[in-house]
Amino acid sequence: MITGLLLNIIICFAITISSLTFAFVLARNGGEHSEKSKPALWALVAFWTIVGATYLPTTIRMIAAYMGKPTIDTIMYNISAIPFAFISVPLVFFIMYVMIGNKNISKYVSFMFMIFGASYLGLFYSSGAIGPQVTELSSIFIVNSDIAIQIYLMGLFIFPTAMILGLLLLMFITSSITISIHRTVLPLVAISFVFDFILTDFITPVDTIQIASRVFVLVGTVQAFLAYFPQTVFNDRFCAKNNVETCETDENDKTEYEDNIDV
Amino acid sequence: MSDEIDVELEQKVADYYKSIGINQGPGDIQYRLILKVLENNSDRITEFADIRKYTDQFADRGSIGSKIKTIFQLEGLVKKVKRGGYKVTDKGLMAASFLKSTTTFYKKVKRMSDIIERMP
């Protein structure tokens, strides 16, 4: 019992720290981005902050379960439901803005998701949750409601996922352009990874599935971090630098090359 | 004329092709506009004035006349039917169709590059 819950605590803590650090580093490097990409950048910062804010009470919840304090466990579960309900808001803004480039339309659509999220919270608090059921690996709550709330929740998550897949599809269809896989595709895959496994984490009544989902959320966070701050091995493999242009030879190499051309 | 020509778009498309090293044909705004006008007037004779309506802001009368002669007439894209009057040939319509595909390609590239530009 102790080992499994400890592992769960470590995973939740790692997700919290890595996502909050990622959000902080992204925000700190905001000046490096162009004016056009800034709205999407702030949406990303908000998204990763919300992921961190979701897993911070979850970490405390797991510690409470480990220490045998069900009241704190329940309070933290109810607190973590708040950021969880609004996690799709910055994501929808991000995808809409990247796809259509209109800030106002993106704001309106994400505001709709904010209303959906708020009504989910209303439903959630009015129905309550059954639990905690502490197992070897985790502490499980089940929403005390019929299937409607689950379907509602899936709606809240499936639309943004479909948007991400649509954007990825668009990128693959436009295969005539050299896309920096590392900088464009990898963050999207990471976000959809994190987003979908957070949903699985919250709705599953099975502890093994929950812990597996958390591992995947952690993998997604690391993946997103590597996409924006690539390591040498990624640079070599995917030509991963800050943008597409940097795949070209640098100025000194170019001058040398130009000198060698016989006119 | 069946439909208006978007000169601004044609200029952007030509600039794009120039930026990738294609200075003639798709990258030449005069060539694009002349061919577009000829295509639009495919069912009737294109007067020199029809072409100049679009090209005056980019080129003088002489260079347009010279382009029609040295490229369009020489390569058989148009047939001179009277003084200052031309009729597009099948080959010319084929070139116009190719020009359309260059516009489509430009739009595709532009849309994708805009998306990538907005990605942080």
What is the SS3 assignment for A36? Answer: coil
Task: Work out the pLDDT band at A229, boundaries 50, 70, 90.
Answer: confident
The tally of domains found in chain A comes to 1
Task: Round to whole Å and give the CA distance between B120 and B107.
Answer: 22
Does residue A132 have a cis peptide bond before it, meaning omega lies within 30 degrees of 0? yes
Q: Do B111 and A174 touch (CB under 8 A)?
A: yes
Closest CA to A214 of A90, A65, A60, A55: A55
How far off is chain A from B26, nearest CA to CA, in Å? 18
Return the pLDDT at A225: 87
d(CA A236, CA A234): 5
Counting Cα atoms < 13 Å in the Cβ hemisphere of A64 gives 19
As beta bridge partners, residue A129 has A143
Give the residue extent of every domain in chain B: 7-114
Interval B79-100: pLDDT, tens: 988 888 889 999 999 999 999 9
Residue A249: pLDDT over 50: no
User: Can you give the CATH number for the domain in which A27 is found?
Assistant: 1.20.1070
Render pLDDT for B29-82 as a digit per residue (tens, 0 to 9).
989 999 999 998 888 888 888 888 888 877 777 788 888 888 888 888 999 888
**CB spacing of B118 vs A101 below 8 angstroms:** yes
Contacts of B105 in chain A (CB under 8 A): 176
Q: Specify which residues A140 forms β-bridges with.
A: A133
Compute the nearest-CA separation of B24 from chain A (Å): 21
A40, A174, A176 member nearest B119 (Cβ): A40
The verdict on a CB contact (< 8 Å) between A179 and B116 is yes
What pLDDT is recorded for position A120? 85
- Taking residues A177-185, what's their average pLDDT? 67
pLDDT at A180: 65
- Read off the tokens for A23: 């959000």
For B115, which of A98, A176, A180 is closest by C-beta distance? A98
Look-up of token digits 């003088």:
B60
Residue scoring higher pLDDT (A72 or A148): A72
Q: Which domain holds residue A163?
A: 2-260
**Per-residue pLDDT reduced to its tens digit, A70-126:** 999 999 999 999 999 999 999 999 999 998 889 999 999 999 999 988 888 888 888
ipTM confidence score:
0.73
Res. A217 pLDDT band, cuts 50 70 90: very high
CB pairs under 8 A between A and B: 45
Name the amino acid, one letter, at A189: V
Least CB–CB distance from A33: residue in B108, B109, B120? B120
Q: Is the pLDDT of residue A48 over 70?
A: yes
Class of domain B7-114: mainly alpha
Cβ of A41 under 8 Å from any chain B Cβ?
yes
